[in-house]
Homo-oligomer: A and B are copies of this chain.
Amino acid sequence: MERLVVIGGDAAGMSAASQARKRRGPDDLSIVAFERGRATSYSACGIPYWIAGTVGTEAELISRSPEQHRANGIDVRTRHEVVGIDLGARTVAVRDLEGGTDLTEPFDSLVYAAGSVPMRPPVPGIDAAGVYGVQVLDDGADLIRELDSGDVRRVVVIGGGYIGLEIAEACRIRELEVTVVDLSATPVGTFDPDIGTFIADAVRGLGIELVLGDGVASIETDPAGRAVAVHTASGRALPCDLVVLGLGVRPNVALARDAGIPVGSSGGLVVDRRMRSPVDGVWSAGDCVESVHRLSGQRVVVALGTHANKQGRVAGINIGGGYATFPGVIGTAVTKVCDLEVARTGLSMKEADAAGYRYVTAHVDSTTRAGYFPGAKPIRVKLLAEQRSGRLLGAQVVGREGAAKRIDVFATAIWNEMSVDEILSLDLSYAPPFAPVWDPVLIAARKAFEAVEADVRS
């Protein structure tokens, strides 16, 4: 009987456990999964919507409970934190957070899926009461408790990335005063600034104050040690009753690193395409691993539920004796600010520059349906195409309803290394309620092709 231990009970860990169990019965493989929190297999991405009240209860965010996993032959231990890994002895040291006792669990195979931790700027006051990260379900519950208390009127969100803006919007829906501070000139710095401008407008349209191009210098606390103001690098004081960290996350690899499991230059754990660590019998998946970016060729960490699920599945199939791979990422992401949809895939200009590509850009403003069709909404598409080859390097889409999901066509095109003139020939669906006769995707490809042509001639 082989023993599998899983560290982390969310998407990556439990997908791995489930897939391994599917292929190998309990007589062949025992599976124990340790999870620090109370819940398993939940949607961390849904937490902002739970805070906003758009999603009614915590339970709705849980796709599979510990009980369901146990019924499936996986020994899940919630409120159990793994505090040490001994690769020589092949054991993990575990703390029972409720009982307070420690235990040691032996393993033959290990899945390290400890996720990520919120980035915390190293500024005075960052550990004060009233400063929250939003990472796990319990963070959401804590934040909701604070907001429900009625004592919070002003919220400062540090970081204007996806999570920061989602939390900011959630707080606005709760009719709080919200300020977002971000170092970039436009929010969600992974978009080019010209697209970011649309996002900034939509955020301000919600009544959220944006403090851009400015960092956090310190968090001021009251005598009781609670955050009362955020001071920015430029010297602004932003009074507040609550601070939320929205700076993104970093891989939670401390335990692995301490045990000698290799960490890559990206900060994530090193894995191959089958999600194997270089250490025999050790697998990893989810927010804590690095992935190959298929365009830049570099190792990157992308904390996204969709990757965590896929990677966990891949690890589990391989542990179960099958064969599966995770062939990398191309940086696809989507978010919504009020009714503005924004999405990206591939490389932004900054990223393309860093990767050494030479490229042209093209913009197009169109509509989501035939222009004459009721409900047609504006959509802007920006493309980056490699000089000469015309290979699509990146796409950014911003618009109203029906705009953002078009990014998936570009993602599929980039995945297949299509050039913009090939994309222009694609047989995409057309009918007036769904698209203009030239879908915005095709018009953008046409414009980008013209830019490639003009560049070659120049």
Contacts and interface: CB of A to CB of B under 8 A. Distances in A.
B373 A431 contact: no
A304 B310 CA distance: 37
A332 B336 CA distance: 29
A336 B43 contact: no
Contacts of A412: 409, 412-413, 416, 426, 428
A435 B441 CA distance: 20
A330 B428 CA distance: 9
A330 B335 CA distance: 31
B431 A45 contact: yes
A378 interface: no
A325 B427 contact: no
A61 B373 CA distance: 9
B61 A305 contact: no
Interface in A313-356: 325-336, 341, 343, 345
A418 B335 CA distance: 27
A49 B431 CA distance: 11
Interface stretch (A186-194, A264-272, A400-408): A400-408
Contacts of A46: 370, 372-373, 432
Interface string A222-233: 000000000000
A290 B407 CA distance: 31
Copies of the protein in its oligomer: 2
A405 B407 contact: no
Given A43-B372, A370-B46, A402-B405, A411 B437 contact: no
B373 A427 contact: no
Interface string A190-233: 00000000000000000000000000000000000000000000
A301 to B, nearest CB: 14
Contacts of A442: 306, 310
Nearest to A407: B429
Nearest to A62: B372
A49 B416 contact: no
12 contacts: A46-B432, A54-B373, A54-B374, A307-B427, A332-B428, A334-B434, A405-B429, A408-B409, A408-B439, A411-B426, A412-B426, A415-B426
Interface of A: 11, 43, 45-46, 49, 54-55, 60-61, 162, 304-307, 309-310, 325-336, 341, 343, 345, 370, 372-374, 402, 404-409, 411-413, 415-416, 418, 424-435, 437-439, 441-442
Given A43-B437, A304-B430, A402-B402, 8 more contacts: A43-B372, A306-B428, A332-B429, A332-B430, A336-B434, A341-B434, A408-B426, A411-B426
